[in-house]
Structure 1
């Protein structure tokens, strides 16, 4: 290779997309754009014997590019540059070559095989085919036809796997790869567990490549049948198969000639090109997030339910209810507060709040920088160990609560068949409340959302407490600006999601867990897929699927990763408690399991992020009343 480069020449196989033929018999030129588009060779072997679709190009005909892929996100790890052919390298006949060039091509055909590129996401190096054939005494005219090698991706369980394929040398290499993909796994591959999520009868209508984006036109059978995982898997199969070629970084889908913006009834948003990073979670079973757990010492108070916690900078304050009778009776229950210091690994019992006990519902809390504000009427100062009563809130319920840095804002809520659509804001400096402007949102007993640094993003469901769909004029998503006291409608979730949890990661609102809309009067199963909302673009994207759906989990943001621990994998029927938590990295668009905690699984634990540790504590035993709650906890320290 070094000798060849010293002569100032490199080899490049210039494969181009040829004409396609539509199902109606009319000729088609690569998606109907009237021209052939270079696809490029795959990273695997592309060899030639005798006359081949290969031409020598001087080194100056090449240019160095960075791989095309998803839009850059701050902090994304860079990927190696790659060499790609000049865009003027089109469908050209095999030209006469100098004798020395022919010698180089025959003797060093492996250079052609190695002119692919590295991708940010890989399922392993493609299977390499032999680059030469055995020497025989057959006349030159009988030499084997040149072939190319590439890979196709199939499903095996919840992940994608690659299988090698070879094909007669062709300029339409992308078409050949997709044809092999649509043909499905071979019998031996099926025996090994390979399947395909692409429905039978799906046909390729056209494929073209421009500016690193492959435009693929398939028949409408492609989006038929299957659930969310099946839809993700079939999209991933096409994306991985096409992005093995160095001139393809992303894929744009069309069905029966029409661009796809929302794919199937699962509501998968495809209004932009997608790449391997969008389906990275399907690539291989991820390794657990590196880090270690440590059990906490026993707490001085047995808080049983309605837990809320904040991190003060030095301690985790946990507020909740104690004294629930064994039969679940709250008659003698009361509120209590404790503090845990992770540096000294010690607890301290704090004074109980004054006033009437509040234990019939959830009471969210936020840290103001000085006090723990417990919605809607209490505040605790850990420096003085004193509670104070807040003025009466003008809001009707307890729903979504967010701290803006100046005010504690709450919206929605409800109990026992009620759903509210009003909100209020509390200013601890002036010790006053103000009522929020009327929102365009449908009432909601359990809204979700978060503060994004400028607005409170609020998401609500499609159905009222009686199971009837809210009228269409109600918004399902809106953002509130506390400076102007105004609301604006925003793009709704691509699909209904009850019981989900949302957190802000500094760029997007991440929504995970929960279940879709009820079907046929029955609760929907928990969804493995979540969504991310970009306020600047007013657009949602779908997250890769988790290993299982979750609800009643503790979810928080560390500054780099979303951590989820606890909760249930079952939204209806038998409750299944997962054995470990999960971590989502937005930069890599990938879920990973957390190491096994020294705790039993549970629902509704409380959690805090200290800056270096995830602390989880308490929670309830599935299927039992709150009197049999958990009173232990542990701290997880991610590896640096």
Structure 2
């Protein structure tokens, strides 16, 4: 199927959040969008659980989380929301694990993590959740890999990652979980590893081409890792710089594509929304060398092999939470000097919207 042209993409503003929010988590259950926690304008973690109701274009308040938190890892297990770790009051990592049953409308406290952790990354395979790394209360990164069984309510230890880190990007492909980048004590790392669930072994892959933080990280429809833009860390005598570089790793080739074979974005940016919508890589908003946050949006056309400008975001912002549901990109909250309550959708006009 042909990818949509640039002029077919449109933004629409949907119901705003009840208040500005950042570092909240989004999850989809049965095509419905849930939003959990996040920080308010005063930087305090919240216990919000809200459901977006498209038929009335409103956010509906649901029973709040037992533990207020921001930056939690969230997984969907059997129509239940598993909420893991994050940052609680006093900016302290959490070990609390809670489950919300979307059919019963009730929360339950579950088996806690072995220690307080923030920046955990999570994925689901065969009804079990796999939680990677995190940062402990001592501010040091962890290499721990934990597997959660909802039915038994137990966490089991699996062989740890080769490189301790938090805020890593993970992707499940078949029986392999790819773990790329992340951070150690606020410094980005280049490590790239894969865990084979059949053999329960780790292998190292070619490292990321350069250290960049706040990049856009996408896994495309062919299973390639696309590492977009970000902030390159400066040295002792160098300032950090925003970049428009694009790096692509092909797991079939086992290597990164040569830089001359990739196409950089039009705008240098970091901390932006990134997603694949109808076969096109899309980047929106974020921070750049301009004094204010960005509203610009661009999408890569794979046949033309170029980035094209799309209509700008209605509300410019960075640090937004994003999710793709039914080929539509939803961008929720974020920051524009203060936490934003904006909720906008990017869709292709041929289709009906939410």
Give the TM-score normalised by structure 1.
0.48
Unaligned runs of 5+ in 2: 86-96
Work out which structure has the larger RCO, using CA pairs closer than 8 Å and 6 or more positions apart in sequence.
2
Per the TM alignment, residue 586 of structure 1 is displaced from its structure 2 partner at its CA by 4.5
For residues 523 and 410 of structure 1, the distance between their equivalents in structure 2, rounded to whole angstroms, comes to: 34
Corresponding residue to 1:617 among 325, 332, 338: 332
- 1:6-155 to 2 correspondence within 5 Å? none
2:316 maps to 1:594? no
Say if 1:76 and 1:366 are closer, same or farther in 2 by CA, change over 3 A.
Answer: same
Q: Provide the alpha-carbon RMSD of the alignment.
A: 2.9
Equivalent in the alignment of 2:88:
none
For residue 423 of structure 1, what is the aligned residue in structure 2? 145
Q: Is the 8 A contact 1:323 1:334 kept in 2?
A: yes
Instruction: Provide the residue aligned with 1:239 in structure 2.
Output: none
Is the counterpart of residue 347 in structure 1 residue 347 in structure 2?
no
How much has 1:464 moved relative to structure 2?
A: 4.9
> Cα–Cα, structure 1 residues 405 and 414, in superposed 2: closer, same or farther, change >3 Å?
same
SS where residue 544 of structure 1 aligns?
coil
Say if 1:421 and 1:629 are closer, same or farther in 2 by CA, change over 3 A.
same
Residue aligned with 2:47, SS: strand
Cα distance change of structure 1 residues 548 and 340 upon mapping to structure 2, 3 Å threshold: same
Is 2:7 the partner of 1:309?
Answer: no
Q: Tell whether 2:68 aligns with 1:357.
A: yes
Which of the two has greater helix per residue? Answer: 1
**Equivalence for 2:92:** none
Following the alignment from structure 1 to structure 2, what is the Cα–Cα distance between the partners of residues 429 and 491? 37
Distance 1:303 1:364, change over 3 A: farther
Partners of 2:196 and 2:202 within 8 A in 1:
yes
CA distance in 1: counterparts of 2:233 and 2:38, whole angstroms: 32
Could you tell me which of 159, 170, 174 is aligned with 1:437? Answer: 159
**Other-structure match for 2:103:** 383
Equivalent residues of 2:181, 2:208 under 8 A apart = no
Alpha-carbon deviations, 1:112-162, whole Å to 9, x = none? Answer: xxxxxxxxxxxxxxxxxxxxxxxxxxxxxxxxxxxxxxxxxxxxxxxxxxx
What is aligned with 2:341? 631
Q: Which runs of 4+ in 1 moved over 4 A?
A: 585-588
- C-alpha change, 1:488 and 1:630, in structure 2 (3 Å) is same
Q: Secondary structure at the match of 2:23?
A: strand
How many positions carry a matched residue from both structures? 332
The TM-score with structure 2 as length reference comes to: 0.82
| Pairwise CA distance, 1:308 | 0.8
Q: 1:367 aligns with which of 50, 73, 76?
A: 76
- Whichever structure has more strand as a proportion of its residues is 2
How far the C-alpha of 1:296 sits from its partner, in A, is 0.8
* Correspondence 1:534 to 2:253: no
Cα distance in 2 for partners of 1:590, 1:366 equals 34
Q: Does 1:449 align with 2:164?
A: no
Quote how far apart the aligned CAs of 1:322 are.
Answer: 5.7
> Is the contact between residue 341 and residue 347 of structure 1 (CA under 8 Å) also seen in structure 2?
yes
Contact 2:233–2:241 under 8 Å retained in 1: no
- 1:388-411 deviation line (CA, Å, top 9, x unaligned): 222112366333322335332222
Q: Alpha-carbon deviation of 1:588?
A: 4.8
Based on CA coordinates, which of the two structures has the bigger radius of gyration?
1
- Unaligned 5+ segments in structure 1 are 1-74, 78-286, 623-627
Q: CA offsets per residue over residues 176-221 of structure 1, 9 Å max, x none?
A: xxxxxxxxxxxxxxxxxxxxxxxxxxxxxxxxxxxxxxxxxxxxxx
- Kept after mapping to 1: 8 A contact 2:22/2:321: no
Q: Per the alignment, in what secondary structure is the counterpart of residue 213 of structure 2? A: coil
